[in-house]
Amino acid sequence: MLEKWAHAPFFEQAVTGAFARIGIGQGPDGQMVYRICCVQGVEEYPRPYQFGNTTTNLALRCSHGKAIKLFRMDIVSNGAFTQREYDRYMGTLHHERQNIATSTDVQRKRDDFEFARNYVLNDKEVEEIVRIKRSLIVFNPTLERSRLTRERDTVERYDREITRMEREEEERKGERHRATRELSERNRMLNLKEIRQAEEEARRQRRQEVLEHNAMLARAANEEKQNDAAAAKDAPTTAIATKQTDLASGPAASASLSQFEQLMATEQSTLDVDLDELFA
């Protein structure tokens, strides 16, 4: 909380009146010793110091009984107060006749914390916080090298992740293109198959029509042949007489008779001439 709020505009109001667990060093048994202190305000520390992942020049002015001292925030513990620490703090207040926080004070501080948690920084306040933090940065080659190394490692990690994601995307694109090609090829083969089937059906229908037509012609010819045979069997004399009558009465017959008569007349004339010459 301290690191997050250190340079926010509401920081001093939020922490003043709150209680902090301050580490004051090691005890005889080698264990860290903590004191409960009440934050009286926020002041600038003589020099910037590293506080978590940021740099700050702020410190907390804290009281323990009548004693007041400026403490850096990097020695404030995140641990809960122990019963022994609480008893010592209350004993000090009683011994030095200092006021004890009331329930109203506690509720007021709870409201201050709630306000800080819900506070939304505007653009100007964000720019001011960034400016302050940049102004506090003290160039340290070792720290700068370490920071740049971390940033380089982060960039390389991101690059590897981006490369992996791009490769996976290309593979997905390849799969989609391959699926599209396969679908197009299947559709093309299906269309060709349907076209061949349609052509084969058309040829079959044409063959069927030709066969049916030829069968019809064959039946007609057979029926005509059967009719002619039946007619010839039932009336041969009539057919012959009819044939002769047709020959005798037709135009061709008349023409043949006329030619025959002319020929006979010519022969008779020639014969008459020869007889006259013979008897002369």
pLDDT value for 134: 84
Using only the alpha carbons of the chain, give its radius of gyration.
Answer: 65
pTM attached to this predicted model = 0.47
Q: How far apart are CA 38 and CA 109, in angstroms?
A: 12
Per-residue pLDDT at 132: 87
Q: For the chain, which residues score pLDDT lower than 70?
A: 138-141, 143, 234-280
Taking only the tens place, the pLDDT of each residue in 121-180 is 999 999 998 888 888 876 566 767 887 888 899 999 999 999 999 999 888 888 888 888
Q: What share of the chain is helix, strand, coil (3-state, %, to 5)?
A: 70, 15, 15
Measuring CA to CA, how many Å separate 221 from each of 125, 217, 218, 224, 271?
Answer: 113, 6, 5, 5, 56
Return the pLDDT at 21.
95
Q: Compute the distance between CA of residue 54 and CA of residue 67 in angstroms, rounded to an integer.
A: 29
- Cβ–Cβ contacts within 10 Å for residue 64, how many? 19
3-class SS of residue 36: strand
